[in-house]
Amino acid sequence: MSISPEKTFKTPLYSAHVARKAKMVPFGGWLMPVSYEGVLAEHKTVREACGIFDVSHMGEVRVKGPEAEKYLQWLTINDITRLKIGGGQYSAILNENGGMIDDLIIYKLANDEFFICVNASNREKDVSWIKKNSTKFQVSVTDESDKWAQIAIQGPNAAPVTASLLSAAEGETLKNLPYTNIMNVTLFSRPALLARTGYTGEFGYELYLPAEIAEKAWMALLEHGPKYGVKPVGLGARDTLRLEACYLLYGNDMNDSVSPLEAGIGWATKLDKGDFFARDILLAQKTKGLTRHMVAFKMLADGIPRHGMRVLSGTEDAGEVTSGSVLPTLGGAGGMALVSSSLKEGDEFFVDVRGNKKRAKVFKRPLYAARTK
């Protein structure tokens, strides 16, 4: 499927969203639910009970072959060799200048087989890049995005809600599934994958299932609303949830001109693992010292920061807000900003909010203590 700006695609759950009167908006080439009952209420649902998200717009790529691990070890920033079968890791692919083509999650399904989740708006770019660079390796690269739907199940009650879809044996395996790992499951007699990952800062799962059974699974999950507080959640709350947890959003906090070191994911960038694509660029950047870095901040004055607003240190331009919004769990407003490396935790600065200088302060990341584990 080719995603073009002229056409907006619908996920397999589109009809289910419309039936619940969700507010639908274009996002990454797809028509997606931004909210059902309101961002603040949905945000609270995930923090206190269980929210389910349609993230079927995300892309899925399978890399398979005798040199699959060798190839991905060279192509990505993290250390694939640390993964055992069933393990997953956060990583990224870079361009020739060390900028981020995309961040992604990679799962090891077998010694010669990996399953990769990529961002919706980057799907064609990612698949093209992964295929282009694979020609010297004994691997096959397959874009399976059209086959899969994806449902995220997030919040304190995510475990029993998710287990309700599984067999008794699968439910027992689920109890011991480590964070970032993935397992094979059977849903409505169809093979599927279930990962203990998410994008909210809460305990939860992400379910990859055949598109044909997506609505059936969605409705089955919602049946547990009375007991576990399960409700559908839109992209609006997904954004405020991930922002409190300081998870990066491609196109806002990172792009092809921002390196993983600048974006604050040096922890996932294994410079000591041996050669990988654009490693020399990152090494030079680290040796020279970063001139800018990603920080989390909270507003000290009224005003909501938004993407692209300028950051001022005194009277000097010091960078820009990459993501900003209200912070429902924490109160007030804040976000993340790509700023001069001279700005450190505890420093105050100003955000230019529509021509008005509003005080803000750098805080330690994440702003919300994640409860994923």
Residues 48 and 152 grouped into a single domain: yes
368/328 Cα distance (integer angstroms): 11
Q: Residue 300: which CATH number?
A: 2.40.30.110
Q: Phi and psi (nearest 5°) for 324? A: -155, 150
Residue 316 is assigned to a structural domain of this protein: yes
Say which CATH number the domain at 30 has.
3.30.1360.120
* Neighbour count for residue 51 (Cβ, 10 Å): 31
Domain boundary among 208, 228, 244: 244
pTM: 0.96
- Rounded Cα distance between 13 and 8, Å, is 14
The parent domain of residue 304 ranges over: 291-363
Please report whether residue 185 resides in a domain: yes
Q: Encode the chain (373 residues) as per-residue pLDDT tens digits.
A: 333 445 689 999 999 999 999 999 998 889 999 999 999 999 999 999 999 999 999 999 999 999 999 999 999 999 999 999 999 999 999 999 999 999 999 999 999 999 999 998 899 999 999 999 999 999 999 999 999 999 999 999 999 999 999 999 999 999 999 999 999 999 999 999 999 999 999 999 999 999 999 999 999 999 999 999 999 999 999 999 999 999 999 999 999 999 999 999 999 999 999 999 999 999 999 999 999 999 999 999 999 999 999 999 988 999 999 999 999 999 999 999 999 999 999 999 999 999 999 999 999 999 999 889 8
How many residues can be counted in the chain? 373
| 112 found inside a domain | no
Is residue 279 a part of any domain in this protein? no
Q: Does 368 fall in a domain? A: no
Establish if 18 belongs to a structural domain. Answer: yes
Domain stop point among 213, 244, 275: 244
Instruction: Say if residue 192 is in the same domain as residue 300.
Output: no
Is residue 236 domain-shared with residue 299, that is, in the same domain?
no
Determine, yes or no, domain membership for 151: yes
Q: Are residues 211 and 299 in the same domain?
A: no
Question: Do 35 and 171 fall into the same domain?
Answer: yes
Q: 39 lies in a domain?
A: yes
In terms of domains, do 295 and 240 share one?
no
190 and 52 within one domain = yes
How many domains is the chain partitioned into structurally? Answer: 2
Q: Do 182 and 298 lie in a common domain?
A: no
239 and 151, same structural domain?
yes
d(CA 25, CA 32): 5
Query: What ranges make up the beta strands (E) of the chain?
Result: 9-10, 23-27, 30-35, 50-54, 59-64, 88-94, 100-110, 113-118, 140-143, 148-154, 182-187, 190-195, 204-210, 230-232, 292-299, 310-313, 316-326, 333-340, 348-353, 356-363
**231 and 154 inside one domain:** yes
Please say which residue of 189, 212, 244 terminates a domain: 244
